[in-house]
Structure 1
Amino acid sequence: MSFTGFPEAALDFYDDLEADNSKVFWEAHKEVYKTSVAAPMAALTDELADEFGTAKIFRPYRDVRFSKDKTPYKTHQGAFVGVGPATGYYLQIGAPGVRVGAGFYEASSTRLAAFRKAIDNDLYGPALEQVIAKLRRRGWEIGGETLKTSPRGWDPDHPRIDLLRHKSLTVMRDYGFEEIIHTPKLVPQIRKHWRETSALLDWLVEHGDA
């Protein structure tokens, strides 16, 4: 099956799910999810797999065991192509439209220590700064979980303290409701933008080992 675009019904489905996140709604609209969200997402990631690898398409159900929020369904559909531990390319569709990203979303204490050691290095740290600055100029939003204060043992006046405070590091960009999300042209668009993030992922993979 070739990707022909996400139909308007996909956006409408998530609009309605945000208003009524219940099993009754889900069961009544399960076929819309399958045909307008799940099938196009599978087709899209299949077409990107030749260059980036096979995607994991996330289940639509939330894990509510340890959450105060007991709503049963995710209000977006995500897909992830891993290139390292918790590191890779990301894609999602929800009520606000389509967005893409890349980076690492969590790290063990050992791996985080390895990242910080590399950021501190006078060769590797500036290289990461240059990668991020280039992505920012190209319209990427830099994000991820950060500490409010300096990591323990690090000088708050360190020249790269902002990077050292990251516990995760991601870059994202929104397509929103742009017409392209409803067309096959979304495939080369995502391909182009994921390629822009490859230098970031290469750095993370290279320096993620202690």
Structure 2
Amino acid sequence: MTFEGFPAAALDFYDDLEIDNSRAFWDANKHVYIESVLAPMKAIVAEMEPEFGKAKIFRPYRDVRFSGDKTPYKTHQGAFLPRAEETGYYLEVSARGVRIGAGFYHASPERLAGYREAVAENGSGRQLSRIVNKLRSAGFDIGGDRLKTRPRGVEPDHPRLELLRHRSLVAGRMLGFDPVIHSAELTEVVRADFRAFGPLVDWVVKHTAS
């Protein structure tokens, strides 16, 4: 299948699913999910795989075993192209449109220690600062899970304190309802963003991957 964009039916499907997250709705509209969500997602990540690696398309079912929220279905469809553990490129479609991102989404204590050691070291830490500042200047959001205070042993005036607070670090942007999401041109938008995220992903892999 050639990617021609996510149809409006994909966004409408998730809009309705947020209102009626039930098996009855899912069973009655599963064909919409397969045709308008899953098939286009498979098509666009297939375009990315030769350059960015094999993609994982997430299952639509929520794991409700340990959650107070027992709604059975995810209200978005995500795809992840990993470079290392919990590190790589991400694409999502939901009722709010399309989101593109990259970075590391979780780190074991060992990987987090490696990340903070690299951020604290002047050479690698300054390099990450330049990468993050360049992405921010290009209009990308910089986010991730962060400590509210500072890591133990870090001075309050450390020049990279904000980066040291991160327990995950991601860059991305929400395309939302931009008309491009409904066209084949989205392929080049995603590819360009993934390439822009490349230095961040490379830095994380180099300094945290075992």
CA contact 2:84–2:209 (8 Å) conserved in 1: no
Within 5 Å, give how 1:1-210 maps onto structure 2: 1-209=1-209
CA contact 2:119–2:163 (8 Å) conserved in 1: yes
- 152-161 or 34-43, which deviates more: 152-161
Return the alpha-carbon distance in structure 1 between the equivalents of residues 25 and 156 of structure 2.
50
Residues matched between the structures, number: 210
TM-score in terms of structure 2 length: 0.98
Return the alpha-carbon distance in structure 2 between the equivalents of residues 188 and 20 of structure 1.
34
Percent identity between the aligned chains? 57
Return the alpha-carbon distance in structure 1 between the equivalents of residues 151 and 85 of structure 2.
22
Cα deviation digits, residues 107-127 of structure 1 (max 9, x gap)? 010110000000001111011
Per the alignment, in what secondary structure is the counterpart of residue 197 of structure 1? helix
Deviation at 1:156, TM superposition (A): 2.0
Structure 2 spans left out of the alignment, 5+ residues: none
Return the alpha-carbon distance in structure 1 between the equivalents of residues 152 and 143 of structure 2.
21
CA contact 2:120–2:160 (8 Å) conserved in 1: yes
**In the alignment, residue 55 of structure 1 is paired with which amino acid?**
A
Q: CA RMSD in A?
A: 0.8
Cα deviation digits, residues 9-50 of structure 1 (max 9, x gap)? 000000000011111110110000000000000011001111
**In the alignment, residue 67 of structure 2 is paired with which amino acid?**
S
Per the alignment, in what secondary structure is the counterpart of residue 123 of structure 1? helix
CA contact 2:52–2:81 (8 Å) conserved in 1: yes
**In the alignment, residue 130 of structure 2 is paired with which amino acid?**
Q
Return the alpha-carbon distance in structure 2 between the equivalents of residues 178 and 209 of structure 1.
35
Deviation at 1:174, TM superposition (A): 1.1
Return the alpha-carbon distance in structure 2 between the equivalents of residues 143 and 33 of structure 1.
29
Return the alpha-carbon distance in structure 2 between the equivalents of residues 108 and 51 of structure 1.
27
TM-score in terms of structure 1 length: 0.98
**In the alignment, residue 170 of structure 2 is paired with which amino acid?**
T
**In the alignment, residue 55 of structure 2 is paired with which amino acid?**
A
Deviation at 1:74, TM superposition (A): 0.4
Return the alpha-carbon distance in structure 2 between the equivalents of residues 209 and 54 of structure 1.
18
